[in-house]
Chains A and B, each alone.
Chain A
Amino acid sequence: MSKQTQRKSMDYVKKEYKRTRTMPANWYLSSYEYKFNITHMQPFLKKLKEKKLVANKCSGCNRVFFPPRLVCGKCLVKPDRWVDIRDTARVATYAIAYLKDENSEVQEKPMVLVHHDGADTSSIAELAPGVDVKDTYISMPIKAHWKDNPEGGLMDIEYYDLMDDDAEDLNESK
């Protein structure tokens, strides 16, 4: 907020309040151990090592979940089929966070939601380091950039590269 607006707002908020007593207390989650089961992800993680992407598919509504999902909420059944999906994708939507780093300088941290071709869900990811995120547009075509030695984890796709596109109508939608 600019100094000007801040001053304006303070005039209306400021009030002579008598302070109450305060008592320090905390709510910490350090003693909490989250428990989860990722058995349904195993085929997906295994295939990542081969630089291949698989997603699971609900036979009730034919939706394809990438990354795989335990339960299809629409049909309330466990998706039971596996399908291959491509490593090309599109930007579903994006945002830029402004966070302070260790030197308390504000850094731009772009994030995109990636919608893989052939999947019905989007997942959170990063774009290639060189990309200026302000040039990003919705439904921009991108492609997965694989790690050299995939280990079977979600970070095997390090980031997403831009795809060259000659189509003029695509450029217009920028």
Chain B
Amino acid sequence: MDKVGIVGYNQVKCYSDANYGRYEMIFEAVRGAIDNAGLKKKDITTVISATNDYYDGRTISNCFTVEVGGGYMADESKVEMDGAHAMLYGLMRILSGNHKLAVIWGGSMPSCYPYHSARLYETDPTWERPNAYVNDITSSGFQMRAYMEKYGLSKEDIAKVAVKNKKNAAKNPLALEESQNPNISISDVLEAEIYADPVTELMVAPPCDSVAAVLLAPERQAVKITDKPVWITGVGWNQETYYLGERDLSQSTSMEHAAKAAYDMAGISNPRNDLDVAELFEVCAHEELIFTEALGLVEKGKGPQLNTEINGDFPINPSGGALGGNPPCATGLIRIIEAVKQIRGEAGQYQVGDVKRAVASGQIGMCAQNNILYVLEGEN
């Protein structure tokens, strides 16, 4: 695979109820990314957006965003998944040699609609939707229970992840303000409102308004655009089966497949040594542990034993992860941006020493049915 570089990025701060119009927010993200790379509108050859008709409350949600998203007279398309999947399509377009600069943006405004009820429309309309038993929250409950039972873990082990991420989010100026809590404790998490036992409010990634944008360019162009391009050296994406009863919820098969593909591509044999930091899209705190294991960073069931603080053995989600703000369709893209910031040394307060290689993930579906993983590398 040829080298493709991330040459610019921008993210609008997460708000629980943003004082923005939809188009204004998209414009700010895309314009900011282009300014970040020092380019102009005419340089854009292709635009890939990540939006969802149900999250935007309209059919063809990319219809009216052509202009504000920089897509005027550009080769445009939409991936109706996570922003990270949209970047995959952008990556393919760059790799094809047809395009020289791809803009990928994604985002949504859940302050306009009840996000968790909207997720119900993703379930099987015949068997599961009429009962409304399965949505993102309850399936997270199933998964957390399955994971805890299988490896004999306690709620505290899971709550520790939420505490770490919320503390990290406090250092991230773009994270959701409501999620930024430097003084949070394990008992705060466990005593918060129960969403679906054992999942509590503070374990769930809070939906919020934001849009993020990333610019991709082929190697030759990327080195001209920026001194600090971040290369995509590996990518893997995978979808497992839907029905929760058919899956082993205590692990993430799709993430294992995705990680294998991405590691093979990037030539990573020992992820724990070869990688420096991970930015994972966790819908619920325990998913971070499951992903940590699926990525081969620790053995199965040993996730809670790994010190993943910013200064720990293997930092995960130094930006606060999705628990620091989960704008639908943008979260995966924000994870990539945070990994890029770490590699470029632009993460400020939550910078993890010297980062050479990072992974970032995105997901959609109940219990992370479809996962995508990127391996990103710096210049040296």
* Interface residues, chain A, with chain B CB atoms under 8 Å away: 23, 25, 27, 29, 31-38, 70-78
Contacts and interface: CB of A to CB of B under 8 A. Distances in A.
B114 A31 contact: yes
Contacts of B126: 23
Contacts of B34: 76
Given A23-B130, A25-B125, A37-B21, A71 B27 contact: yes
13 contacts: A25-B125, A32-B57, A32-B113, A35-B111, A35-B112, A36-B22, A70-B21, A71-B23, A74-B41, A76-B27, A76-B40, A76-B67, A77-B41
Give 6 closest A-B pairs by Cβ, nearest first.
A73-B67, A37-B21, A32-B57, A73-B72, A76-B41, A36-B21
A78 B28 CA distance: 10
A72 B67 contact: yes
Interface residues of B, number: 33
Nearest to A38: B21
Would you call the interface of chain B mostly helix, strand, loop, or mixed? loop
B243 interface: no
A74 to B, nearest CB: 6
A25 B112 contact: no
Contacts of B109: 35
A75 B34 CA distance: 12
A39 to B, nearest CB: 9
Q: Which residue among B20, B24, B30 has the maximum number of chain A CB atoms within 10 Å of its CB?
A: B24
Contacts of B57: 29, 32, 34
B302 interface: no
Interface in B254-298: none
B334 to A, nearest CB: 20
B121 interface: yes
B364 to A, nearest CB: 19
Q: Which residue among A70, A71, A72, A76 has the maximum number of chain B CB atoms within 10 Å of its CB?
A: A76
A75 B41 contact: yes
Contact of B112 (A27, A33, A71, A77): A33
Nearest to B24: A37
A73 B66 contact: yes
B67 A71 contact: yes
B117 interface: yes
B100 interface: no
B68 interface: yes
B78 interface: no
B5 interface: no
B129 interface: yes
A34 B68 contact: no
A77 B30 CA distance: 11
Contacts of B27: 70-71, 76, 78
Nearest to B68: A71
B117 A31 contact: yes
A136 B129 CA distance: 51
Nearest to B57: A32
Contacts of A34: 22, 57, 112
Given A73-B68, A76-B70, 16 more contacts: A23-B130, A25-B125, A27-B54, A32-B112, A33-B112, A34-B112, A35-B21, A36-B23, A37-B24, A38-B21, A70-B24, A71-B27, A73-B67, A74-B72, A76-B30, A76-B41
Contacts of B67: 71-74, 76
A103 to B, nearest CB: 30
Interface in B88-122: 109, 111-114, 117, 121
Interface string B7-31: 0000000000011111110010011
A78 B129 CA distance: 43
Interface string B118-157: 0001000110011000000000000000000000000000
Nearest to A36: B21
Contacts of A31: 113-114, 117
A27 B54 CA distance: 9
B54 to A, nearest CB: 8
A92 to B, nearest CB: 19
A70 B117 contact: no
B21 A76 contact: no
Interface string B66-85: 11101111000000000000
A33 B112 CA distance: 5
Contacts of A27: 54, 121
A69 to B, nearest CB: 8
A78 B27 CA distance: 9
